Structure 1
Amino acid sequence: MKPLKTTFTTITLVLFLLFTFSCQEKISKKENLETSVQSQIDSIEGTIAVAFYSLSEPKDSLFINIDEKFHAASTMKVPVMIELFKQASEGKLDLNDSIVLKNEFKSIVDGSLYSMDIKDDSDDVIYSQIGTKVTLNDLMYSMITISSNLATNVLIELVDAKKTTETMRDLGAKNIEVLRGVEDQKAYDQGLSNSTTARDLMIIMDAIATNETINQKDREAMINILKDQKHKELIPRYLPSDVKVAHKTGSITGVHHDAGIVYLPDGRSYVLVLLSKNLKDFDKGTEQLARISKTFYDYYN
């Protein structure tokens, strides 16, 4: 019979080796992930930012160009949605109330009037409702799920862009700027555009998923709206159908973004933000960004 001390030493050594191997395997997986993602980014002609953050235990993350500034495009519609729920919770408005739909807005440069063009909007149905009453809930749903620009401008005028940015600061998003509605050409010409970083959108998505300063009922309502997203070219594109994604896309010339929360069937979840600008080939860039999303899914799963 072996002495007790020798047996204990052997067991300790085995456990140490198993722990070391486990740690090395995890490090190796993470290194492979970073290498794979960077290789995919390098294949894109343009500037890319990525933020990956696990919402489940153990915590995990990967950040690339996370503080690079990007034109926010339609991702700024998520802060507007959050501000709508915030003001509703404060009793300043009721999301079930209706508002007369108009198509006349003031430029932030000089207050001159401009209108939205149906040809430049992803929502053509809403234009038939101009002059009629539409509920705030319906406008918000269209703003997020089909990225209606007309609905966005009506809502951002209602809740105020400055207050929306202030709320993002309160959530911890320090650099995102919500300055104005969509298609304000005078503002655009002067460089006055909504902007964001991957870090800010990650913080905002994390807040929708977990932040207790937003009541749970509102968070669940926002997640359900985001899960109904109709534009699925990026994060969900190559993921299995049983994986649910609560997300918001955004695109303009040379720019394609997606920011969301990915929910796996086993209950785990993670935040993923993919931002791009100066894309030489929009379709190729979109394809590779969708592949990057699949890379993260394969790693996490």
Structure 2
Amino acid sequence: MFVKRLAFFGFVIFVLTVLPALAQQPTGVTAEALGSANLRATVDVSADLVGEITSGTRYPVLGRSEFYPWLLLGDPTTNTPIGWVFADLVTVQGSVSSVPLSTFVIEPNALPTATLMPAATAGAPTATQQLVGVVIPQTPTVTPTPDLSNVVSGVLNGEVNIRLGPGVEYARIGVGNAGDQLEITAWHTQLPWLQVRYPDSPNGFAWIASDLLETTDDVFNLPAITQTTFNLPELTPTQPVLESSAILGGTPVPLSPEFEALGSQLWSIMLENDFDPQTSRFGALFVMDLQTGEALAFGSEYAFSGTSIQKISILNSLYGVLNTLPDTSTAIDIANTMICSENVATNRLLQRIGSGDTWLGVEEVTRFLREMGLERTFITAPYTIPGRTPEPPTRPIELPTTEADQTKANADLSNQITVDEMGQLLGSIYQCAYQDRGPLLERFGDRYTASECRQMLHVMSNNTVDALLKAGVPADTRVAHKHGWIDDTHGNAAVFFTPGGDYVIVMMLFQPTWLNFQESLPTIAEVSRQVYNYYNPDTPMEAIRDGFIPEAGSCNFAGSLLIDELTSATFAEDR
């Protein structure tokens, strides 16, 4: 077994130049390996490997390190130094404190030649002899890629953070997945971590918590590491992959240094809260300045389940087919869709869009998105109503394939969005409402008016969910937003109206199987707070608000003031 380990580490030829001067006085203290133990040239696990001892033979202890738990062993016959061993790998007889301190270094040399070998003396090993219980490395057979079957290796039992040092306080330098096999090179005597070979690390090694991988080999036969302070290289922080975006049909506006710095700050918040695209738990973000047109995004290459946020697209499509103000029943469905996220009301709006055919309404929403130039956002089925049998489709369903990564966030096959496209859609509504321009007015003729766009923003401004992005701004701030969540995905899309400027934020977070609200809500709110403070530095938010999410079952806007407002031409013109 140890021959294979030596093959992995690379052989160092140990020339036994046993000169009388090297022999040392016996101390009466001896050591025996606990199974097997590596011998090193000096007191460092990265020092040259000069041999290995096995149990059954006791070796004289010739010296000890003043600062580290290492012992210098000698040949049982000649007392010639043969290498340093980590003290935890041997049993010691006698008082180690009586052993003199030593800094002796074993000099590994090239293959022995006749002129380098001493004359054979009784008990002294020759080039063809072997110290008792000590294996002398032979010339290695070099292979470009080590065969992990011949070394101690472990198989990861899930998604695992790979770190630069033995602890969660050390930087993560990679992520391993279930089934990955890694070569284990050492174990730590005080911490439950294993060192592995990792070519992407600055020093070629990394660390994994020992309970996160399975191994059938005895890792305690590997070198042991005792130090708790590591002189590790400084890592360059991972920079966000910021994308410059634009309102649909427009030219991307170059990011100012200040806006780019904001993007880096938001990226750091995501990473600090363990939403990292290197892992299966990650997020995406879009921010647009509605005055300058600057827009940044990261994670826009990932498709997320559209959740109820897709209802913004449905609202847009509805106003594209309304020739007059909404009647009362339609206004109630609009409010209950956009505020209560009530799926029955949503499907009635889809039916209205499809001229009585819900499935045709779904197609019309996706057609509207394509006309807007949004290629990675779509819906292909009505919303599911708990306890009801879904209405069968009236025609074959085609599930779109887009340029987005549709698998990483386990995106709903029939309802998908990306953060940048939803942000661009919100920006287009704002342009239509308050700047008398943008694709809604330019691409659809007279199907949209500024007052209709203001109505869309007004109904979303009445959203009673005071959490997510809204918890990051003062309570009296106008925020036109749509929330959405399912078990593994939480998100929010919003237009903010603040004293220091108006802006859009769309943020999505994903964790396989189940995403905890106690982790997602503060992260989303903190991102929002930082953006608010960027625009309002003189009146910053010191901390996120607790916020609240009302019970959905009690949400119904029938008979409310909002319904009167949505059906009033005068009110729409005044907003």
What TM-score do you get using the length of structure 2 for normalisation? Answer: 0.38
Match among 161, 171, 194 for residue 415 of structure 2: 194
Q: Shift of the alpha carbon at 1:35?
A: 3.0
Root-mean-square deviation (CA, aligned residues, Å) is 2.4
Change (3 A) 1:298 1:269: same
- What is the CA distance between 1:74 and its match in structure 2? 0.1
Residue 281 (1) aligns with residue 482 (2): no
Structure 1, unmatched stretches of 5+, are 1-25, 98-134
What is the distance in 2 between the residues matched to 1:210 and 1:295?
Answer: 24
**SS at 1:236 equivalent:** helix
Structure 1 counterpart of 2:381: 180
Aligned partner (choices 168, 179, 201) of residue 369 of structure 2? 168
Which letter maps to 2:372?
L
Identity of aligned residues (%): 20
Give yes or no for contact 2:472–2:527 (8 Å, CA) kept in 1: no
Match of 1:157 among 343, 348, 351: 351
Alignment of 1:44-83 (within 5 A): 44-45=274-275, 46-57=281-292, 59-83=293-317
Higher relative contact order (CA 8 A, sep 6+): 1
Residue 300 to residue 149, structure 1, CA distance change in 2 (3 Å)? same
**How far does the alpha carbon of each residue in 1:93-127 deviate from its partner, in whole angstroms, 9 at most, with x for none?**
x6216xxxxxxxxxxxxxxxxxxxxxxxxxxxxxx
- The alignment covers a number of residue pairs equal to 232
Q: State the one-letter code of the partner of 1:142.
A: N
2: distance between equivalents of 1:221 and 1:81?
Answer: 10
- Residue among 9, 26, 36 paired with 2:265: 36
AA partner of residue 525 (structure 2) = A
Specify which of 468, 477, 481 is matched with residue 243 of structure 1: 477
Cα contact 1:243–1:264 (8 A) shared by 2: yes
Please tell me whether residue 297 in structure 1 is matched to residue 526 in structure 2: no
How many angstroms apart in 2 are the aligned matches of 1:87 and 1:31? 39
Q: Say which one has the larger Rg.
A: 2
Paired letter, 1:177: F
Letter in 2 for 1:179: T
CA deviations on 1:191-248 (whole Å, 9 max, x unpaired) are 6320000111011101111134131010111110010011231111120134211110
Contact 1:44 1:285 in 2 (8 A): no
Please name the residue that 1:96 is paired with.
327
| Distance of 1:288 and 1:44 partners within structure 2 | 10
Is residue 498 of structure 2 the alignment partner of residue 272 of structure 1?
Answer: no
Q: Identify the structure with the greater helix proportion.
A: 1
For normalisation by structure 1, the TM-score amounts to 0.71
1:139 matched to which residue of 2? Answer: 333
Q: Distance in 2 between matches of 1:299 and 1:265?
A: 12
Asked if 1 retains the 8 angstrom alpha-carbon contact of 2:311 and 2:337, the reply is yes
Structure 2 residue ranges without an equivalent (≥5): 1-255, 276-280, 354-360, 391-396, 400-410, 442-447, 537-575
Change over 3 Å in CA distance of 1:280–1:220 after alignment to 2: closer
Shift of 1:37: 1.1
Q: Aligned partner of 1:196: which letter?
A: I
1:211-226 alignment runs, 5 A limit: 211=432, 212=437, 213=441, 214-226=448-460
Contact 1:145 1:230 in 2 (8 A): yes
Q: Which moved more, 1:278-287 or 1:75-84?
A: 278-287
